[in-house]
Every structure is written in structure tokens, then in C-alpha cells.
Structure 1
Amino acid sequence: MKEGRFFRYSEAVNDLVTLGQRIRHFRNAAGLTLDQLGAEVGIAGSQLSLMENGKREPRVTLLGAIAKALGVEVAQLLDTAPPNPRAALEIELDRTQRSPAYAALGLPVVRPTRTMSDETLEALVGLHRELQRRSREAIATPEEARRANTELRLRMRTRDNYIPEIEDVAQELLESVGHNTGALTHRTVGLMAERLGFSLVYVNDLPHSARSVTDLENGRIYLPPASIPGGHGLRSMALQAMAHRVLSHSEPSSYAEFLRQRLEINYFAAACLMPQRQSVAFLTAAKADRNIAVEDFRDAFGVTHEAAALRFTNLATSHLDMTLHFLRVGDDGAVYKAYENDGLRLPVDVTGSTEGQLVCRHWAARMAFARTNRTTEFYQYTDTPEGTFWESSQTGTTDAEEFSITIGVPFNEAKWFRGRATSNRQQSRCPDETCCRKPSPELTKRWHGKAWPSARLHTHILSPLPSGAFPGIDDRELYEFLETHAGER
């Protein structure tokens, strides 16, 4: 199977500017003028000039005639790589001058000419790169980031958190290395990387700001050693790094695009670790037995509880015909991740963002912390203004704090799940503040004005939002790392 077959999810129409540059390159190599080549293929030289400048798309038959006249294959003309360094600069200048950031300046478009020196062209392209970099940094404010994250969550809600295009790509790659059943092994992940032209290299000196680094020039994916502590599996990190290539990602031009790409690589990794075909078969059998449990799904594929719960949200609506919600909540009650398409009212701020907002104290996501025995899932029915929901929560721990992972469904869907017979039941009136946020009148009267607590400030509240093409990455540290390892074999 050719690598190109994986590049389906983010494919765009042919780049006419690059196509034009390649036609011009091969025409000059053949020693033909515009008029001479035009006469060979039956069109005016002026029409051919429009094609070489990326302003007109040639018909398929005409493209074939041009290739024949130039003594090359059509595939050589359609290659997406610039034909030479000068053409690469001209293509980049054309693209950047089409960008909204440049259009907003109201300046004229500069067309490179034959007499324009490479140094001048490099200076113009360098100025545009800096303009784009500053534009990216300017829009990556906390408010814009929260809005972008909210828009992405709402967009995924309309899709029931399901992306069939990525499912297909993941299944195709898995089949190409012969993986059909069982947990995905590190060896199989390595074979998948080789299939895409990469080798997995485990190092102790990754940049502190990076979870992995992909060296596109030398075909290497650098990962931390297997003995590192923490909850990030190396299989998942490797798959996420591969996903950028598989899904044809380019350098993100906005924080919103960065978040979308991150969602897509996480989705791809989950679709490989818990393939759709096997996962749906497993969950369908569990539903028939009325015994769905995230912990069983987790153990069947050798992943974390959070990964299994998130993967369940991808498949539950599209393949099991049920709506649901997901929550990752810190021990202080703050939301880290959330998804719902079952009508549960998530806590949100004025921008519509739910991250950082506090969930009701009576929800299972917070009640689970009160348990003494936390080795198994905690089950609970919760009555809310939007209806009654059944929920299953599992707690976990990081170096910084505890957290809970919750999957919940409307009352009528509880019949399919293990734990539906629980007698745990709570009532939530949130967002009514008298539910669990406001102290009682008696306590208010007793203590108002008689206490002065020192608040525990979350460090991320005052942290600046990471900027740059890859937010949070220290470019100097990254490039020094790559240079250090570039000569290794």
C-alpha cells in the first residue's frame, strides 16, 4: 500500500501556483518559450502564461499534452513539491500575500519578476513570515483560546464526537501491518511508523517543553524512555506523532487550528489503540448482555480509563444509538475536559467555555472523591433540572492532584450498563447557587465578616498562554536537540 493513500482527511484541491511553477520549470529545462510550447499543445502562449502564474487550471487532456511535449510524466507536473528553491520562495510569497493578515493591511500585491534577486525575494518572504508569527501570537489570548476550544467542542457535538474519515485512515494503516485483533503492541506501533517512513527513537534529553519530536528530514520520531513516570503511554505518543503525517497536517496558522489538529491526532491514536471494528463488536456484545462498563473496555484494549471513556464517546451515539456525557474533573471540582450530547447542562462561563468551571458537588464526578474504596467504578443516579442521569465515575491521581473520569447517560439508557442497580442517588439544582455553592443563611449569619482565608491560587491562572506556531514549544531548545541528534545512525 502506498503512503499517499493515507493522505485523505485533509486533502485540498491541487495547488495551481505550484503546478504553474512546475510547468515553467520543465518548459525552461526543455528550452521552450511560452509561444513554442503553446504551439505544441494547441493554445496561445498567453493562455499558457496564465497557467504558469497559477491563474488558470488546465484541463486533464491539456495537462497530458503539456507533459508529453515537455518529455515528462503527468505525475511530475502534479507533484506538490516546488521544483527549485527560487520557485519555493515565489510560491510562499504568493500564499502569504493571499492571507487575511496581509489583506487587512490594504497593501498592493508584489509579483516576483525575473529581474528580482533571490535576496530581495528572501527578504519579502522573511517579512511575511514575521507578520504571520506576530499575528498568531496576537490572537492566542486566553479569551480567544477559550472561545476556540468552545467552538471546537460544539462542532464535535454536532458530529456526535465521531470522525469517520479518521476511523477509515486508522483502520487502513492497522490492516497494512496485519493488526486485526487484541491490544496494539509497541512492536506493531513500530511497524506502523516504518510503514510511514519513520523510526522510533527513545532518548533521555527531549526538550522539556515537548512530549515527542518528529524529525521530518531524517525520518525519526523521538520519544522519552519507557521507564518515565506518568500516565502518557508511549504507544499513544508515537501514534499522535505519526498522525500529523497521516492526516496531512501543515504548520498551524492559528490557535484554533492548533486545537483542531491536537483533537485529530488524539482521535487517530485512540482509533488505532481501540479500532472501530473490534471496539464496536466488544461494546455491542456488552450492550446485548446489559453489561457495558468502561473498566472492561479499558482492560480489553490495554489503555487508560480516560482513553477508554473518551473512545466510548466517539462510538456510543453513532454505533450504539445512545447519547451520553463525559467529564474529567479535578479534586477541586473544576472541569478539565467535557463533552455531552444528552442534554446535561454543563457549567459554562460567559464565553460558553466549560473548562475551569466547577461542577455541582452532588454530581458523581465529585461524589466519587468521598469514597474510601476507589479501586472500582462509582455508580450514581443524579436528578437535575434537565432530567435524571446515571453516571459511572473512576478516580485517578497525578503528581499534582486527584481527578475523576465520568461517563453518564440519561435514565432510560442506564439499563445497558453495569451498576444500574445502584441505590446511590443525589439531587442537583445547579446552576441555582443555593444548591451547593451558597452557604446556608445560618452559617452566613454566624461567620460573615469573621474569616479571612488565604486562597490557593492555581498557577495556570496567571500563566501567559503559550505562543508560536506550536504553542508551548521552546524553539531554541527544539532545534538544538535536533541538531545534536541529526548525525546519529
Structure 2
Amino acid sequence: MGFPDGELDLATLGQRIRHTRKSKGMTLGELATTVDRAPSLLSQIENGKREPRLTLIQSLASALGVDVAHLIKPEAPSHRAALEIALARAQESPLYATLGLPHVGLTSKLPTDALEALVGLHSELERRATEQAATPEEARRANAELRQQMRDRNNYFTELERTAASLSEAIGHSSGPLTERGINDLTSHLGFTLHRAADLPRATRSITDLRNRRIYLPMPSHTSHDPRTIVLQTLAHFALGHQEPANYADFLRQRVEVNYVAAALLMPEVAAVDFLQRAKAAKTLAIEDLRDVFAVSYEMAAHRFTNLATHHLDIPVHFMRVGEDGIIYKAYENDDVTFPADVTGAIEGQMVCRYWAARAVFHAADRYASHYQYTDMGRGTYWCTTHVERTTAGDFAIDVGVPYAHAKWFQGRETTNRATSACPDPSCCHRPPVNLAERWSEYAWPSARTHSHLLAALPPGTFPGVDDTDVYTFLDRHSPSLSE
């Protein structure tokens, strides 16, 4: 079969063979005679239709007076060759097939500028199609890339801290819980008014009427979210100057930024860092205490801790939000913990090891009590503090962990809970015990509850899942300028 070092790009290989042959002044027939092969076989290879054996590649290289490495380079031999490869691939795609158009022949008579135009049109067609419906794979890739950016910066973003600090200064909020009066002052500072509505479309958490500078929020009983968070996230969009997202990656980036600013407004950097540094000095760090001092949810406090822990406290950290089924919904790390991941690098949607604290907490005698645990892993030992939050969607474990050397700064470090994890080795927890497997493997037939959202394309539109007609109809009903 083919080349041993991995997949060979047949189209590029064929182009490089043809380009080298012509540069040597050899005809296809002459080259075929030299390597003792049929011209029709070489024609198929040059057109990327057939994969040559390694021995034939070596013979071709020898006949052409070049190294094998020259023929198998991943780069096209010329700008035109790259265009021809791109057009050939585009015309073979399912997207092009849906257009019902004929294929353009790739002959030497086709002008290079025409090739450039055709390739550019195909590229734009693919971009627009991707923008219309992001697949779960695209969403996972975008999420993985964004998480890497967060890791590179230790999840601390100076520009977002400055924005939050400026807004906090404008309303005179420096420490302690952000009150309803402070929320109203901030809303007024940015030129908006707040309005409650019982008929918000189900797919929205808030709707902003930019014509009348009104922000519509759900009734308090209609949401499990902290109403302050919803307002602050909405206001953050405008404070950061966000425009309509260009694609899913942009949409996701904006969501992360507004979540960050909202947390920084609820827990201002100076006050939060002062509190955390004093707690570290006393070796009494606790997410619960950060939560209580600023009157936020445990998950919000855990998120904020990841913003500040490495930059201000020199503590590497990881964070997870895990469902009762063991599925990871959110994750972040800069402490080299080995999260499960798919081939795209995505962590969300993967199942965490059953021995990790984020899953073990669900089997504790009191799952709602603070759970502390040391876990021995392949890369070392990690200490975790885990708290289960109840939501309308079920119970979720919020887990914050640090390498063993940093456990000394935290409350709960004296725990005797200890576990060992060998994941991702399948023998750790992904294979059932032998006795159970022998007893039931041939007699069990579970009907799986499919996470259908993982299989379908994300809803199209500028804001995924939001129906523009529902939004515009809502605004028509509530707009004061239309009711006058």
C-alpha cells in the first residue's frame, strides 16, 4: 500500500510529480518507460486518482533526479497547481453537488485568473454555508480553540478587568454584594432602562430594544439564573462594543467575554484579590467563602476564582461543571490535569473518570455537603473541592482542583478521601468488572437516551437558536414608540 509516515495527499503528490517531470523536459511516456510502468498508471497518479506504492515513488524520484522528500512535500509545486487542487476538491464536495452545475475541466487552457475566481467563489460559498449551520464538530473545535486561548492567558484578561473596573467606579461599587440599586445605576449609566416581561420568547434570556434603549428581562419566577447576572451580561455586550457575531466562534467568544465582565462586576478585582490573598496567607482559601462574601452562586464564585488564582495567587487550577451522568458541560485547566478529550481537543461532552471528585460526589452520603478529595493520576496528585448545585435541569457538580503542592492553601486539605485514576486507560473505569461482564454482557440491551443536540447542526441565524420573528413580534408588542 502507501507511504508509511501517514496519509499521503494524492492530489499534491500527483501535481509535484507532473511539475517535476515537465521541468525535466520528460513526456509521460518517457517517464513510464524509465520506471517500467504503463503510461495510463502514471496518468492516474499524476491526476491524484491512484496511490503509488513507496517503491514506485522511489523509482520516480530516481528517474526524475530528485529525492523522495521532494516529491512528497505537502506544499503544491506552484501557485497554479495549488489552485487546481483547490478547485478539484471543491467540485468533488457534496456542497457543490447540490448546485447541479457542470464540472469545469482543469486544462492548461483555463486562465489562472479564472481559476482564482472559481476557487474564491467556492471558498465564499463554503464560508456562507458554514455560517448558516455550524455543526457540533465545528462548535467543539471553536470551544477547544477558545479554551486554549484562555489557558494561554491563565484565564485572566486585563482588558476585561479594566472594562469592569471602569463600570464599577462609575457607580461607586468597590466591594461587597452588588445591590439592585447598583444594577439600576449601571443600567442608567449605560443609557438603558429595565423592564420585566412574562412573554419573553423561550429561546432568549433577555431582549434589548436598541431604538428605545429598553432591556426586557424574564419574570423572576421564570428563570433559575441570578437576575443580576442576566442584566450584567446584557449590559456587558454594549460596554464592550460587541457587534452581531460573524460566526459561531465569534458568538462563543462574546458569551465568554460578557460572562467574565459580569463576574468581575459582581466580584470586583481589587476587593476579590484582597480577600483571596488574605485567605491564602491564613491557609483558609474556600470557594464557599468567596461565594458568601459577594452573594453569588457557587459556580460564579468558582469561575471568578479561575480568573484570579493563577495571575494573583500563583496557583494553577482546573474547573469542571459535570452532570449527574458524568458528562462534562464546562471545563478549564492550566495545571496539566488530563481531561478526557475527543480528536478535536474538545472536552465538553466527554465523560469524566468515575473516580474523580466531580463524579464521586454524587455517591457521597450527603451530596450537597462540601466534598474534598485527593486523586492520584498519571501526571501527579490533585486535590479538589466539589459542590453540587441544584438546577431546573438537574444536579451539577462544580469542581475546582489544584496540584497537590497547592492544596496547603485551602480549607478541606485535611480530608482522608483519596482515589486513584488511570484514565484515559480503558481499564480504569470504562470497562465493567470482569464478573459483571461475564454475568450480563450477553443479556443486557439498554435503550440509550440520546443527547440529540450533539448530533444535529446548531440552529442557524446570527444568534443560534433564536427565532428572529419571535423577537421582532415581542418588540412590536412592547415598544412604546409603536403604541403611541
Give the alignment's TM-score, normalised by structure 1: 0.72
Q: What does residue range 119-198 of structure 1 map to in structure 2 within 5 Å?
A: 134-138=129-133, 140-198=134-192
Query: Conserved in 2, the CA contact under 8 Å of 1:212 and 1:221?
Result: yes
d(CA) in 1 for partners of 2:338, 2:118: 41
* 1:266 partnered with 2:259: yes
Query: Pick from 354, 363, 368: which aligns with 2:356?
Result: 363
Tell me the distance in 1 between the aligned counterparts of 2:147 and 2:130.
Answer: 24
Q: Once the 2 structures are TM-superposed, how far is the Cα of residue 375 of structure 1 from its aligned partner?
A: 3.7
Q: Provide the identity percentage.
A: 52
Q: Give 3-state SS (helix, strand or coil) of 1:175's partner.
A: helix
Corresponding residue number in structure 1 for 2:205: 211
**Aligned equivalents of 1:131, 1:238: Cα separation in 2:** 36
Alignment partner of 1:321 out of 281, 292, 314: 314
CA distance in 1, matches of 2:369, 2:396: 14
Compute the displacement of 1:369 (Å).
Answer: 0.5
Q: For residue 312 of structure 2, what is the amino acid of its counterpart?
A: H
Count the aligned residue pairs: 367
1:377, 1:392 within 8 Å by CA — same for their partners in 2? Answer: yes
Per the TM alignment, residue 170 of structure 1 is displaced from its structure 2 partner at its CA by 0.6
| Distance in 1, Cα, partners of 2:127 & 2:200 | 27
1:354 partner amino acid: I
Q: 1:133 to 1:246 in 2, by over 3 A?
A: farther
- Indicate the residue corresponding to 1:21 in structure 2: none
Unaligned runs of 5+ in 2: 1-116
Distance 1:289 1:103, change over 3 A: farther
Instruction: Name the CA distance, whole Å, in 1 between partners of 2:226 and 2:318.
Output: 24
For residue 135 of structure 1, report the CA deviation from its aligned partner.
5.0
1:406 to 387, 394, 399: 399
Residues 360 and 173 from structure 1, CA distance in 2 versus in 1: closer, same or farther, beyond 3 angstroms? same
**How far 1:322 sits from its partner (Å)?**
0.7
Structure 1 SS opposite 2:220: coil
Task: Give the aligned residue type for 2:203.
Answer: S
Match of 1:330 among 323, 329, 336: 323
TM-score normalised to the size of structure 2? 0.73
Query: Which AA in structure 1 matches 2:436?
Result: L
Q: 1:376 aligns with which of 353, 366, 369?
A: 369
| Structure 1 residue runs without a partner (length 5+) | 1-100, 108-127
Q: Secondary structure at the match of 1:446?
A: helix
Letter in 2 for 1:455: A
SS state at 2:262 partner:
helix
Cα 1:294/1:131, change in 2 over 3 Å: same
| Cα RMSD for the two superposed structures | 2.2
Give the match for residue 248 of structure 1.
241
**Distance (Å, rounded) in 2 between the aligned partners of 1:198 and 1:216:** 9
Residue in structure 1 matched with residue 120 of structure 2 by the alignment: 104
Match of 2:445 in 1: 452
The whole-number CA distance in structure 2 between the counterparts of 1:131 and 1:404 is: 39
How many angstroms does 1:278 deviate by? 0.6
Q: 1:463 to 1:324 in 2, by over 3 A?
A: same
Aligned residue in 1 for 2:284: 291
Query: In structure 2, how many angstroms separate the alpha carbons of the residues matched to 1:434 and 1:185?
Result: 51
Show the counterpart of 1:434: 427
The residue type equivalent to 1:226 in the other structure is P
Tell me the CA shift for residue 202 of structure 1.
Answer: 1.0
Aligned equivalents of 1:193, 1:131: Cα separation in 2: 41
Whether the aligned pair in 1 keeps the contact of 2:322 and 2:358 (CA below 8 Å) is yes
The alpha-carbon deviation at position 133 of structure 1 amounts to: 6.3
SS in 2 for 1:380: strand
**Residues 103 and 181 from structure 1, CA distance in 2 versus in 1: closer, same or farther, beyond 3 angstroms?**
farther
Shift of residue 104, structure 1, vs aligned partner = 2.5
2:121 is paired with a residue whose SS is: coil
Would you say the 8 A contact 2:388–2:395 is kept in 1? yes
- Supply the AA of the counterpart residue of 2:393: A
In structure 1, C-alpha distance between the alignment counterparts of 2:388 and 2:368, rounded to whole Å: 8
Is the Cα contact below 8 Å between 1:326 and 1:339 reproduced in 2? yes
Preserved contact between residue 136 and residue 454 of structure 2 (Cα < 8 Å): no
**Is the CA contact (8 Å cut-off) linking 1:133 and 1:468 kept in structure 2?**
no
Residue 448 to residue 180, structure 1, CA distance change in 2 (3 Å)? closer
Deviation at 1:403, TM superposition (A): 1.1
Aligned residue for 1:420, secondary structure, equals coil
How far did 1:103 drift? 8.9
| Equivalent of residue 422 in structure 1, options 404, 415, 428 | 415
Q: Measure how far apart 1:187 and its partner are.
A: 1.4
What's the offset of the Cα at 1:439? 1.5
How far 1:308 moved relative to its partner? Answer: 0.3
